[in-house]
Amino acid sequence: MDYQNVDGFIGAIVAEGRATLHELRTVYSLEDAFLMWETIAIPRYNEYLAMQHSQQKNQR
């Protein structure tokens, strides 16, 4: 399900507890937000790759 009133980029940061919406508006820069998003996206992508590798290994 997608966020209805918040961009997915911002929603991911807030949902993961990296920052509040207020902090993103008042404290952090756009670069900070990209760095926070990266700390969410990279581990998720690595988990996806590990799952894909495991599934391929089990199909052999």
Is the whole-model pTM more than 0.95?
Answer: no
CA distance 44 to 26: 27
Q: Nearest to residue 30, comparing CAs of 3, 4, 46, 7? A: 7
- Ordered by start, the domain boundaries in the chain are 8-58
Q: Are 10 and 28 in contact (CB under 8 A)?
A: no
Q: Using CA atoms in the order 46, 50, 51, 52, what is the torsion angle rounded to 10 degrees?
A: 100
Evaluate whether 18 touches 28 at the Cβ level (below 8 Å).
Answer: no
When pLDDT is cut at 50, 70 and 90, the band that residue 12 belongs to is very high
pLDDT tens-digit map of 15-36 = 999 999 999 999 999 999 999 9
The Cα 20–Cα 29 span in angstroms is: 13
